[in-house]
Structure 1
Amino acid sequence: MTTQLRQNTPSWTFFNARPTPPASGNRIPHAVEGDQVAELRFYGTSIPASIQQEDLARLEPKQWLSDNLCTFYCYEAGNAYLKGAPGRAKDLVVLHARTWHLANWTHGFPKNVRVKGAIPTLEHKYVAFPGNDSETHFFLCIIIFPRDLLLEFNPSGPVRTTALILNSLQQLPPSNPKEKVRSILFRLSEGRPLRDKELARVKVLHPLMPQQPNGYDCGLYPGHFLSVFLGAPEAFTAHILGEKTIEGAVDEIWNHSRIRYARQNLKDLVLASSEIQQAAFDFNTDVPLPVS
């Protein structure tokens, strides 16, 4: 069985949702809270992607992105998906790049990755986040069907929970991904009972993905991969699991040619966000002027 995406599904969530550049002509953001110039959250998450003044230089060509810039891209792709797919808020959670090192979070970081009142993480169909295992290379992790592991929802049925590692440099895979994913799932359960035996057997798949032609664009690929995946998540899930193949070469399936626009698109989004934040700051007349 094969699937043809181009005729029946939306294309590239992030690309379709990208706003026009700021109209004011102010292309140099001013710091509005210390060195912070922009901030973005995925709906219901507790940890923002906070862009600092020093991060802006990383948006220039041939620069390696920070974890916040990489997360900003993924958050925007996820938010664009929710805006374009009404009624599917229960499908998706996008988390910060720090999630890959969730076991190392101590004081200074919230224990819960979702805000009070939001649907708990593992009750969603897809949990996605960029990861950086060695502080040298970003990849995207998507955990599909995590709800199957929750004992209260699935006490005895089949468990389909699988982690997908979408990696633009196959020669730099994360180390011990199965152990890492099991630890992340356990912590994201927030103490709720899991199917322990099935948790120990959760699969981690490394599908064939487009490969970056350089050593500095890896931070752009998690957001790009997530955006393409969210264009037709069920079809891509079936494709990666080998249940129903999508026709075409790997680069064509994952719209690799559009990665050339990703850096400028991300830069436009950060600058637009910075202007919104600056306008909100200026509107608050109770904020005292800086002391000279």
Structure 2
Amino acid sequence: VQRFSATQTDDLLAICEEGTADFIGATTGNPYHVLTPALVSRSTILKLEPLSIEEMEQVVRRGMTHLQNNGVHIALTAPQIRVIAGRSGGDARHALTALESLAVGHERGTVTVTDAMLEELYAAAPVNHDRSGDAHYDVVSAFVKSMRGSDPDATLYWLARLIHGGEDPRYIARRIMIHASEDVGLADNTALQTAVAAAQAVEKIGYPEAQIVLAHAALHIARAPKSMSACRGISAALQYVATQPAASVPPHLRDAHYKGAQALGHVG
């Protein structure tokens, strides 16, 4: 249903309100993002969780049985089945697609799968990162929180996920710059310098070398001491300005560079 236009969604809403039909839909995105609030408010949202490794192994075995019933026997060892189950990300469709790929070109007979065949199959494994949906924001959030939490290993992992998913290096660099001030701030003034330099560097060199620059800057943030005084301070000041009457500038803080300023009490 994430493919529906606004007009189609409005038409669907009218049908649901009239009781003409029951709406049962599925989406790979967050329904709160891809559907209108009106339609969401009239729907019961059910979240489908990724399958466990054990459940995925059952899916693989059932897929093997289905192929065997159609004349193709896929010979997989238990460890190989577990590899397919683990590399499918809890999505049965990925596991079944892997089996079908292994069976390509074998209409009949036995296909003995080797470890090399599996390595080739997953050489370019798909990554759940669409740069616009939940996966994008979840991975970015994990990356940022790993830097904030001073976890270098997790920082590199989530950075790698962003890079492997095709994220724009300039976007990653901007996130690093933001958190250099927001999370590190005055505790290490060189963090912002590193982040700005990284942003300038990725503009000039791009991938693949930009990944080293991004890792350098991200690790600086992750390993640096943390201070949110700048972030919290300006937030509190803005809140005060927005809710309190504007104060007059004290005489000793006013501009006093012009002739006659002292006569007005502006001592500067």
What range is the shorter-chain TM-score in? under 0.3
| Structure number having the greater strand percentage | 1
| Structure number having the greater helix percentage | 2
Q: With a CA cutoff of 8 Å and minimum separation of 6, indicate the structure with the bigger relative contact order.
A: 1
